[in-house]
Chains A and B, each alone.
Chain A
Amino acid sequence: MKNILEVRGLSLSFPSKRSSAVKVLDDVSFNIRDGEIIGLIGNSGSGKSMTALSVADLLPETASVEGGQILFDGEDITKMKPKDRRLLLGDKIGMIFQDPMTALDPLQTIGRNLDEVLQIRNIPVRERKDRIIEMLKTVGFIDPEGVYKRYPHQISGGQRQRVLIAGAALLHPRLLIADEPTSSLDSVTTMSILKLLKSLREKLNMTILFISHDLYVVRNFCDRVMVMKDGKIVATDNTEEMLTGTNNAFIAEMLAKSRLDPSELLLDMPSVDYSGSPILNVKDLVAGYSSGILSRKARTKTLKEISFDVYPNEIIGVIGSSGCGKTTLAKTICGLMKPTDGEIRMKEGMGLGVVFQDPGSCLNPSHNVRWHLREPLIASGSKLSPEEQDKVIRRVLEDVGLEQKHLGRYPSQLSGGQRQRVAIAMCLVLEPSLIIADEPFSSLDAVLAASILKLIAKINRERKTAIILISHNMRIVRAMCKRVIVMSKGRIVEEGLTGEVMKNPGSDVTRELIEAEKMLGGARQSSTGA
């Protein structure tokens, strides 16, 4: 097969005045064959994005190319005039990025956003609109005319990524570079985007360079895989052989790291007494965001008639794809949002803790860990003496697996996993009987996520704390939760014991979630799962 792109001996560095230059790419050579989907995987900082940016000529100004050739269709594009090379991007090479939220101009309609690409190429107005509508249809919009007129904030993250793919594909490029296009999407949306990319390859005869750190995504999607480490390509092979063979120590390690297989954590489910009285009783809950300043009534209902109970000592899973109202439910139970209707009844004297998703903003950057752990005690009007407070803090710190030395550190001096542990410790200080955990692991890598899951299970076992675990990941819910609630569009569509829901899914949403889980890995474990 013909090579569409050949990279030979590409080296790249960031010159620095003080120290020696930081080398980001070191003698990188690879070929991309016409029509294939090739994966490029590696940890963050391994140079995979820089490789893509070199090909697309989008390198930051401070980078300097130290040598090497990039042959596109046999022509060395590093020797091209800047203007010609710029036109190559778009005409021949398309690119999509990780964050669909920031890639569209919020003040322009989707149509205007896409139109720009064609406008600078002097295509007549009438034809431009037709082509955009046609492409929006191709990427799976049922109502392309409607989407054309909408603004970016009016469509979901997955839809935005579709719009961006449409934009990249508008000029029918031969090579599409996708830089972690699914990293910020949930599993169901990820699956649909991957399906879309695959179908686009057939329809438009494209070659795709797919960059990812997620081996599971790559496994079911790419024909071949290249692995990068420290600015070097360490292995290239067919996907199947690469990911099953263990002849490469680094890949074996990466495989181990990215496989979040909760069944290996050996988490035993807590025994729950469902005959007793629930500690939390939610009945006909309706909540939403109001847009008027003086009107109390919610315009958009994010939650509709939600009813469920939580029993002492249980871990209950709440699952659904993004935008289904999971987080709003958590916020409403915590009292951060006022319900417009229905009631939330908690057991007398019950404490409530909450852990949110983002380790980046879960701690206050102006204060150290000790302050964070003391703050709940102060807020609750604790009468403990400073020595006793210190004792509580130390015990909790130990429980979440942190050490004394961390007490004086500030959030910027902690890793993502450590920050999430401090956030959990903040809940534990007041010994709540219910903790709401809103995807506390979703932005951590598999090893850290697994350790957080273990920690949550341990807290549940040792402290008899009930936990509402919110997730979009079926595998995690399956391993952790005895009972599960499936949400979609603000409603509970299914509720029951996890095993039974998995065996006989009673709704399309559940089926989609299970299918996504299978496609994005875990297929082998599903037969042995709960």
Chain B
Amino acid sequence: MTASKTYRSPSRAYYVTGAVLLGIVILAFILSLTGIAPSPNATSAAEKLQGPSAAHLMGTDNMGRDVFARCLAASKYTLLISVTGVLIAFTAGVITGLLAGYFGGFCDRIIMLFSNSIMCFPGILLALVAVAVFGPSLFNVVIALGVVFAPTFARVARTGTIGLLSQEYIMHAKVLKVRPSRIMAVHIFPNLMPQLLPATVIGLANMTLFESGMSYLGLGVQPPDASYGKMLADAQSYMMHYPWMIIFPSLMLVCYILGLYFLSEGIRISLGGESR
């Protein structure tokens, strides 16, 4: 009855803003591959703590490393970790969530017990423990983040699946004796995308924040490699007098996170959700 759909299309503005912000980070990632900037890990005692100039667009840090080059390099790690981490969390979470929702009963109880157990610890703590046990390598960080984030996806998938089970087309598929694995993969999974897509995008943003937090504490990306969290940690003691050290990596981080949030908001609105 209401004409609100033709009235305004608020998702477009979110998409455009999100794309521009993400575009900056992706551009940085591409530039980091071309080798346009000097080596991000090359130190130079003579050039340390210089302000932005033609030679060093974003200045240099306390070890004379080029901040611009480090920002580009950090985007590489950020994208790599968040995308693979979310991929792991998505796969593990959606599969377990589908199983729990579809079979219910005992299976549901066990899976939800596990995922709730993970969720009731602060995520960063769990990731820290995992890294402390298995050692702070990039691989371990990604796996740990994947495990910490899996329950979010499991919950979304489980709730969605339970809702869909009462739909007539799923009942029909059962009457046709379609195998449960096929019902889950072909009949249910595509219909979960409206819920999973925004969760994925938000997951990317949250994972990046986690990774930055861990790197800040020295447990994520290992020196001398650059990561936004690590760059912020390094800049901490210098930021009052040499603000470029903290401003530029912060801005990049903000671009990425904000871009993802805008994107997820846009997706949610255009899929028919409320804009709130």
| Nearest neighbor of A430 in chain B, beta-carbon distance | B176
A269 interfacial contact with B, CB 8 Å? no
Task: Map CB proximity to A onto B87-128 as digits: 1 under 8 Å, 0 otherwise.
Answer: 000000000000000000110010000000000000000000
Task: Map CB proximity to B onto A344-373 as digits: 1 under 8 Å, 0 otherwise.
Answer: 000000001110111001111111000000
B187 interfacial contact with A, CB 8 Å? yes
A379 & B173 in contact (Cβ 8 Å cutoff): yes
Docked complex: B177-208 residues within 8 A CB-CB of A: 177-179, 182, 186-187, 190-191, 193
| Nearest neighbor of B166 in chain A, beta-carbon distance | A361
Docked complex: B1-24 residues within 8 A CB-CB of A: 1-4, 6-8
With contacts A335-B175, A367-B190 taken as known, whether A18 is within 8 angstroms of B6 at the C-beta atoms is yes
Known pairs A335-B174, A336-B175, A375-B178; list 17 more (Cβ under 8 Å): A15-B7, A16-B3, A22-B3, A293-B106, A331-B171, A334-B171, A356-B168, A358-B168, A362-B169, A362-B172, A363-B169, A364-B187, A364-B190, A364-B191, A365-B191, A379-B178, A380-B177
Measured CA separation A357–B177 after assembly (Å): 20
Pick the contact of B1: A49, A365, A366, A423 (CB < 8 A).
Answer: A49
A362 & B168 in contact (Cβ 8 Å cutoff): yes
B105 & A375 in contact (Cβ 8 Å cutoff): no
Pick the contact of A379: B3, B6, B176 (CB < 8 A).
Answer: B176
Question: Would you give 9 A-B contacts (Cβ < 8 Å), ordered by A?
Answer: A15-B7, A17-B8, A18-B7, A19-B6, A63-B2, A354-B175, A366-B193, A379-B178, A380-B176
B34 interfacial contact with A, CB 8 Å? no
B172 & A426 in contact (Cβ 8 Å cutoff): yes
Measured CA separation A2–B76 after assembly (Å): 80
B171 & A375 in contact (Cβ 8 Å cutoff): no
B109 & A352 in contact (Cβ 8 Å cutoff): no
Question: Which residues from B are CB-within-8-Å of A380?
Answer: 176-177
B275 interfacial contact with A, CB 8 Å? no
A356 & B171 in contact (Cβ 8 Å cutoff): yes
Pick the contact of B7: A16, A376, A378 (CB < 8 A).
Answer: A16
A50 interfacial contact with B, CB 8 Å? yes
Question: Which residues from A are CB-within-8-Å of B175?
Answer: 334-336, 352-354
Question: Which residues from B are CB-within-8-Å of A97?
Answer: none
Shortest distance between the CB of B104 and any CB in chain A (Å): 9
Measured CA separation A365–B105 after assembly (Å): 27
B1 & A50 in contact (Cβ 8 Å cutoff): yes
Shortest distance between the CB of B116 and any CB in chain A (Å): 16
B167 interfacial contact with A, CB 8 Å? yes
Measured CA separation A334–B174 after assembly (Å): 9
Measured CA separation A63–B2 after assembly (Å): 8
User: Which DSSP category, helix, strand, loop or mixed, fits chain A's interface?
Assistant: loop
A356 & B172 in contact (Cβ 8 Å cutoff): yes
A361 & B167 in contact (Cβ 8 Å cutoff): yes
Docked complex: A11-48 residues within 8 A CB-CB of B: 14-19, 22, 24
A62 interfacial contact with B, CB 8 Å? yes
Shortest distance between the CB of A223 and any CB in chain B (Å): 28
With contacts A293-B109, A358-B168, A366-B190 taken as known, whether A376 is within 8 angstroms of B3 at the C-beta atoms is no
B169 & A14 in contact (Cβ 8 Å cutoff): no
B169 & A364 in contact (Cβ 8 Å cutoff): yes
A276 interfacial contact with B, CB 8 Å? no
A386 interfacial contact with B, CB 8 Å? no
In the complex, the number of residue pairs spanning A and B with C-beta atoms less than 8 Å apart equals: 81
Q: List chain A positions with a Cβ less than 8 A from chain B.
A: 14-19, 22, 24, 49-50, 60, 62-63, 293-294, 331, 334-336, 352-354, 356-358, 361-367, 375-376, 378-380, 423, 426, 430
Measured CA separation A69–B178 after assembly (Å): 60
| Nearest neighbor of B170 in chain A, beta-carbon distance | A364
Measured CA separation A14–B172 after assembly (Å): 40
B171 & A336 in contact (Cβ 8 Å cutoff): yes
Question: Which residues from A are CB-within-8-Å of B174?
Answer: 334-336
Question: Which residues from A are CB-within-8-Å of B3?
Answer: 14, 16, 22, 62
User: Which DSSP category, helix, strand, loop or mixed, fits chain B's interface?
Assistant: helix
Question: Which residues from A are CB-within-8-Å of B172?
Answer: 354, 356, 362, 423, 426
The 7 closest A-B pairs by CB, nearest first: A366-B190, A14-B3, A356-B168, A379-B178, A361-B167, A364-B169, A362-B168
Question: Which residues from B are CB-within-8-Å of A62?
Answer: 2-4, 7
Shortest distance between the CB of A373 and any CB in chain B (Å): 12
Measured CA separation A362–B3 after assembly (Å): 27
Question: Which residues from B are CB-within-8-Å of A361?
Answer: 167-169
Shortest distance between the CB of B248 and any CB in chain A (Å): 40
| Nearest neighbor of A44 in chain B, beta-carbon distance | B1
Question: Which residues from A are CB-within-8-Å of B190?
Answer: 364, 366-367
Measured CA separation A366–B183 after assembly (Å): 13
Question: Which residues from B are CB-within-8-Å of A22?
Answer: 3
Question: Which residues from B are CB-within-8-Å of A294?
Answer: 106
Task: Map CB proximity to A onto B198-241 as digits: 1 under 8 Å, 0 otherwise.
Answer: 00000000000000000000000000000000000000000000
Question: Which residues from A are CB-within-8-Å of B7?
Answer: 14-18, 62
Measured CA separation A24–B3 after assembly (Å): 11
Measured CA separation A60–B7 after assembly (Å): 14
Question: Which residues from B are CB-within-8-Å of A367?
Answer: 186, 190
Question: Which residues from A are CB-within-8-Å of B6?
Answer: 16, 18-19
Measured CA separation A17–B3 after assembly (Å): 10
Shortest distance between the CB of B188 and any CB in chain A (Å): 9
Measured CA separation A335–B190 after assembly (Å): 25
| Nearest neighbor of A19 in chain B, beta-carbon distance | B6
Measured CA separation A17–B4 after assembly (Å): 10
Measured CA separation A375–B182 after assembly (Å): 10
| Nearest neighbor of A364 in chain B, beta-carbon distance | B169
Question: Which residues from B are CB-within-8-Å of A19?
Answer: 6
Question: Which residues from B are CB-within-8-Å of A362?
Answer: 168-169, 172
| Nearest neighbor of A18 in chain B, beta-carbon distance | B6
Measured CA separation A22–B178 after assembly (Å): 46
Measured CA separation A331–B171 after assembly (Å): 9
Question: Which residues from B are CB-within-8-Å of A376?
Answer: 176
Shortest distance between the CB of B107 and any CB in chain A (Å): 11
| Nearest neighbor of B183 in chain A, beta-carbon distance | A379
Measured CA separation A94–B3 after assembly (Å): 27
A379 & B177 in contact (Cβ 8 Å cutoff): yes
| Nearest neighbor of A365 in chain B, beta-carbon distance | B191
| Nearest neighbor of A24 in chain B, beta-carbon distance | B1
